[in-house]
Structure 1
Amino acid sequence: MYRVLFVCLGNICRSPMAEAVFRERVARAGLSGAIEIDSAGTGDWHLGKPPHEGTRRILDAQGISYEGMLARGVRPEDGERFDLLVAMDESNVKAIREALGAKTRAEVVRFLSFVPDARLTDVPDPYYTGDFEETYALISEASDRLLAHLLETGKVTAAAR
């Protein structure tokens, strides 16, 4: 089982959107049994709350479930439990490294690093920009590319279904 944790600031907009979209892509590929997916935030303002209304609205429009998702914070054990920590922006990368320290075994990457031709390096936070459509488009493409990367590198295999 390969484990992926998506991380943003409050865990109500970007990372739950990424969790839901990536989970949908993984299920469509028939790999739900091979990849565990979760999300968390580096801040504690929204702990226990469901995804933001804007995130829910766009996921509903796409027919993607977010059922049961509630905001949680990054935990020290996440660095050992997960194989890949996917940060939405550079400030999340720094916060993850500060929270987990040097003892993490997980790889920490920015989500848009899987989209080398993207015009941006960070997924903009729609909590501040209000542009959930742009965030969805970036997360959607990065999710496709992340899944392709995991298959191409052999971190996940089609045989693991």
Structure 2
Amino acid sequence: MIEKDVFSILFVCHGNICRSPTAEGVMRGKLAHRGWQARFRIDSAGTHGYHVGEAPDARSARAAAGRGYDLSALRARKVEDSDFSGFDLILAADCHNLADLHRRCPPEMAGRLRLMLEPLGEGREVPDPYYGGERGFEQVLDLLEAACDAWLFRLGEDPHRGPADRTPLAC
């Protein structure tokens, strides 16, 4: 159930060890900087349960720590059916994960599903850095910092208004 005075955001990627926990950490940091922690509930999950219970990838944690974001308390989990009603906004890292979410999501809640980078341009995706080098993790942070700032600007003083357009984007 969604708490009325708290706006909730779930960040989702494939395994919940790189992109989505990084997004969670970045958003938590941005909220803390603004003093808005009490106004939001932030979490992350994966569309697949390969890494349930694991800490974020060490490269993600190291890159995030280099910018002041602490991912050490985060543990991977899989998206649950209750997440669709439990979060106001569910942000997928890429079109593949967005499609996975749409397949599971009750139709009346599909407007909650978006891409993480939506405010930066339609169809933009967070690349998966898992099989690349260290630079990929820095690129993910660059994108997520910009996207989190844009989401917070979009949500503004009244997060419960949500995104202006609740029509799901096509990938």
TM-score by length of 1: 0.89
Question: What is the aligned partner in structure 1 of residue 141 from structure 2?
Answer: 136
Question: Does structure 1 residue 38 correspond to structure 2 residue 43?
Answer: yes
Quick check: 2:61–2:72 contact (8 Å CA) kept in 1? no
Quick check: 1:84–1:109 contact (8 Å CA) kept in 2? yes
- Which SS does the other structure have where 2:10 is aligned? strand
Between the aligned partners of 2:127 and 2:40, the Cα distance in structure 1 is 26
Query: RMSD of the TM alignment (CA)?
Result: 1.8
Q: Structure 1: which 5+ runs fail to align?
A: none
Question: Does structure 1 residue 127 correspond to structure 2 residue 130?
Answer: yes
- Tell me the percent identity: 35
- The CA deviation string for residues 113-132 of structure 1, in whole angstroms up to 9 with x for no partner, is 1112x8x7110000133311
Post-superposition offset of 1:156: 5.4
- Structure 1 residues 12-161: aligned runs within 5 Å: 12-104=17-109, 107-116=112-121, 121-130=124-133, 131-151=136-156, 154-155=158-159
Post-superposition offset of 1:106: 5.8
Between the aligned partners of 1:156 and 1:30, the Cα distance in structure 2 is 17
Between the aligned partners of 1:28 and 1:42, the Cα distance in structure 2 is 29
- Which SS does the other structure have where 1:56 is aligned? helix
Question: What is the aligned partner in structure 1 of residue 168 from structure 2?
Answer: none
Greater relative contact order: 1 or 2 (C-alpha under 8 angstroms, separation 6 or more)? 1
Figure out how many residues of one structure are paired with residues of the other and give that number.
Answer: 154
